[in-house]
Chain A
């Protein structure tokens, strides 16, 4: 079974500063994928970044980077140079590749508030 844990219900960050959102996971599958999605108040889940379990390097997408520590089973999201538009819910999710379904298991999310 897959499990995603996000221990920070809410985070605050000053505009232009960097922030790290924590995510730990648990799975017995040797091959899996880790995702971060942003959910603004409109409700749509917006894909941010993906990390495969066999990827050697940490994923980066613009201001987003994923700090992947496989031995610790953590996949923290780092947002650099925060902007007011970054205020939203952020969800970490995992896909177990061996199921073939490609469906995702989500954590409970972290609400990020960017302070001007």
Chain B
């Protein structure tokens, strides 16, 4: 499978715990995006990378959220001290630098108890 893959697909955690999601983009794609989708809403942009550089992070929801793409390939999204309001689907997407289309993974669903 050469699409965008995300791991884990589902995560249940207790409030206050840290969680990390991983995204493997399509191999030749320079850009990688993280979105959050809550129930009944469309995806909400969080941050994006061009290669290993994080070019936009002002839309990360709080300082508990951080993302990395250390070698310009896979990326991780970490949420520290999770809260119940963090329960959502976290979607990763990738694209070519000059491409129009974003290719999405199947998402990582987080449930905070």
Do A45 and B101 contact each other (CB < 8 Å), given the known contacts A101-B56, A103-B45, A105-B45?
no
Per-position contact with B for A32-55: 1 when CB-CB < 8 Å, else 0?
010101000011111100101000
Q: From the candidates B55, B102, B105, name the one contacting A104 in the complex (CB within 8 A).
A: B102
Give the B interface residue count (CB, 8 A). 25
**Residues of chain A within 8 A of B31, CB atoms compared:** 102
- Residue B75, interface by CB 8 Å: no
Between A95, A102, A104, A105, the greatest number of chain B beta carbons within 10 A of the residue's beta carbon is seen for A102
A residues at B contact (CB < 8 Å) = 4, 33, 35, 37, 42-47, 50, 52, 91, 93, 95, 101-109
B residues at A contact (CB < 8 Å) = 31, 33, 40-45, 48, 55-56, 89, 91, 93, 95, 99-107, 109
